[in-house]
Structure 1
Amino acid sequence: MNHLLRQAQQMQQKMGALQKELETREIDVSSGGGAVKIKINGKQEIISLSISQECLSTNDKELIEETLLTAINQAVKESQTMVSSAMSKVTGGLNIPGLT
């Protein structure tokens, strides 16, 4: 029983360290041939967003909105994949609810 408790404590420590590390990991994503660029971290927080002047000068509101949505969704998905992969390394592949 003590062995299991020790393992759980070690996993908890590793998870805490990983969560801090994920806050600093960043992913760059672009959409529309580079018209929109997004930087997101492992907490799924958008750090920066850039829209090219060319994209803005089109004055095509729907195109700009669609390009933004595509970039945001792609950034969130890639960040979630990064977090999930990192978490599975710590948990040994166990799917623990609430951790990913």
Structure 2
Amino acid sequence: MVFNPGGASLSKMMKEAKKVQERIAKLQEELENRVVEASAGGGAVQVKVNGKQQLLEIKISKEAVDPEDIEMLEDMILAAVNEGLKSAQEMVSEEMAKITGGLNIPGL
């Protein structure tokens, strides 16, 4: 007698896991090309971030550059970048949830 817990269902589950893994890998590649935009200071500072959490672009309007108030510009840049990164993370989470059915898989 051979002990085979799960048998065919275990094999099926492994195949499904492999399919999910392949879809996640494909999505991760696609996310590099997806871009979110964020801004601060009423649009004075604008940023673009991709789905791999990479800052792609920063635009600063001339009006935002005040040599007497560099701290304000720094704050606007931080706010825009942080908002961009947050939006990119949310985009990735939403897309991953579509694949994983809402399971929280560590490292993704």
Matched, 1:96 2:91: no
Q: Which has the higher helix share?
A: 1
CA distance in 2, matches of 1:30, 1:62: 17
TM-score, normalised with respect to structure 2 = 0.88
Partner of 1:87: 96
* Superposed displacement of residue 14, structure 1: 0.3
CA distance in 1, matches of 2:15, 2:64: 55
Give 5+ residue unaligned stretches, structure 1.
none
TM-score, normalised with respect to structure 1 = 0.95
Alignment length (residue pairs): 98
CA distance in 2, matches of 1:27, 1:81: 10
Counterpart secondary structure, 2:12: helix
CA RMSD in angstroms comes to 0.6
Counterpart AA for 1:62: E
CA distance in 1, matches of 2:38, 2:27: 22
Give 5+ residue unaligned stretches, structure 2.
1-9
Which structure: larger Rg?
2
Seq. identity, %: 45
